[in-house]
Amino acid sequence: MNALLSLRDVWVEYGDKIVLEKMNLELAAGSFLSIVGPSGAGKSSFLRVILGQEQPTRGTILLDGAPLAPECGPDRGVVFQRYSVFPHLSALDNTVFGLECAQAPVLARLFGAARRKASDEAAAMLGAVGLGDSLHLYPAQMSGGMQQRLAIAQALIKRPRILLLDEPFGALDPGIRADMHGLITQLWRDYALTVIMVTHDIKEAFTLGTRVLALDKRRHDPHAPHRYGATAVYDLPLRARPEPAAAALATA
């Protein structure tokens, strides 16, 4: 398999505490990988090393066969459970900011024609996540579901190849969560994304994912709880990903 993302014997340790050990993963482009596991298993740490926010203590991570750039590149976008948008910026400016970060990483400001173009792109992306009528609202004026739509727009505007979601719908009411499931499935197909989603909700993991990875400790030493880390204890392929050609047609 020609993997988009490869992890080879990746370990994550904080001081003498081993959080993740011997993680191996080959992820094909277009996959929707759901990650489940008990609280503290290292799911968020796993996303941070893929994002490049943290370096693994051992092992190799390859993106398209090349070592992962140490900083978060535009090829990876992330949405957290909450608080990933800026409260002092409108929906439009929050989304433009996503582009500014990608295109002007040092100053993070765009001016003139570049800014107008960014603004048009941001408005279109907000339309795609269902916030076309809310461009000028601030996060405090939006519901939890709307704020997560905004966080998704902010991540997607960089056109990442991999979208990382850390319990993105965990704080939402069940009805709203169902709407978000529809949205994320649609965006995954339309933008031919590879998605890695951490969730507490097993049903959500199986409904959305093409593959489910369960992280947990295989070994446990009651006298030294930090001695062993979690690893992939189950790796279940569920269904084929949509054909890339079909995904491309959907955006045409």
Ligand X SMILES: Nc1ncnc2c1ncn2[C@@H]1O[C@H](COP(=O)(O)OP(=O)(O)O)[C@@H](O)[C@H]1O
Query: Of 6 and 199, which has the nearer Cβ to Mg ion?
Result: 199
Least distance (Å) from ligand X to the CB of residue 40? 4
- Residue 234's binding partner among ligand X, Mg ion, none (Cβ under 5 to 8 angstroms by kind) is none
Q: What angle do CA 187, 190, 192 make, to 5 degrees?
A: 95
Q: Which residues contact 160 (CB under 8 A, 6 or more apart)?
A: 74, 75, 76, 77, 193
Least distance (Å) from ligand X to the CB of residue 51? 12
Query: Of 218 and 239, which has the nearer Cβ to ligand X?
Result: 218
Query: Of 49 and 125, which has the nearer Cβ to ligand X?
Result: 49
Region of residue 81 (left: phi > 0; alpha: psi -120 to 50; beta: else): alpha
Region of residue 59 (left: phi > 0; alpha: psi -120 to 50; beta: else): left
- How far, in Å, CA of 203 to CA of 199, rounded? 9
Query: Of 122 and 162, which has the nearer Cβ to ligand X?
Result: 162
Least Cα distance to 215 among 67, 12, 16 occurs for 12
The radius of gyration of the chain's CA atoms, rounded to the nearest angstrom, is: 18
- Rounded to 10 degrees, the C-alpha dihedral 4/7/13/17 comes to 120
- Residue 40's binding partner among Mg ion, ligand X, none (Cβ under 5 to 8 angstroms by kind) is ligand X
Please report whether residue 44 would count as binding Mg ion according to CB under 5 A.
yes
Query: Of 39 and 251, which has the nearer Cβ to ligand X?
Result: 39
Least Cα distance to 78 among 103, 100, 53 occurs for 53
Q: Which chain residues interact with ligand X by CB under 6 A?
A: 14, 19, 37, 39-45
- How far, in Å, CA of 153 to CA of 42, rounded? 26
Query: Of 20 and 91, which has the nearer Cβ to ligand X?
Result: 20
- Residue 42's binding partner among ligand X, Mg ion, none (Cβ under 5 to 8 angstroms by kind) is ligand X
- Residue 14's binding partner among Mg ion, ligand X, none (Cβ under 5 to 8 angstroms by kind) is ligand X
**Run of H or E residues at 217:** strand 211-217
Least distance (Å) from ligand X to the CB of residue 18? 9
Least distance (Å) from Mg ion to the CB of residue 20? 12
Question: Using CB under 5 A, which of the segments 16-24, 36-44, 181-189, 211-219 binds Mg ion?
Answer: 36-44
Please report whether residue 53 would count as binding Mg ion according to CB under 5 A.
no
- Residue 147's binding partner among Mg ion, ligand X, none (Cβ under 5 to 8 angstroms by kind) is none
- How far, in Å, CA of 96 to CA of 2, rounded? 34
Query: Of 43 and 149, which has the nearer Cβ to ligand X?
Result: 43
Question: Using CB under 5 A, which of the segments 38-46, 65-73, 104-112, 229-237 binds Mg ion?
Answer: 38-46
Q: Phi and psi at residue 133, in whole multiples of 5°?
A: -95, 5
Residues that bind Mg ion (CB under 5 A): 43-44
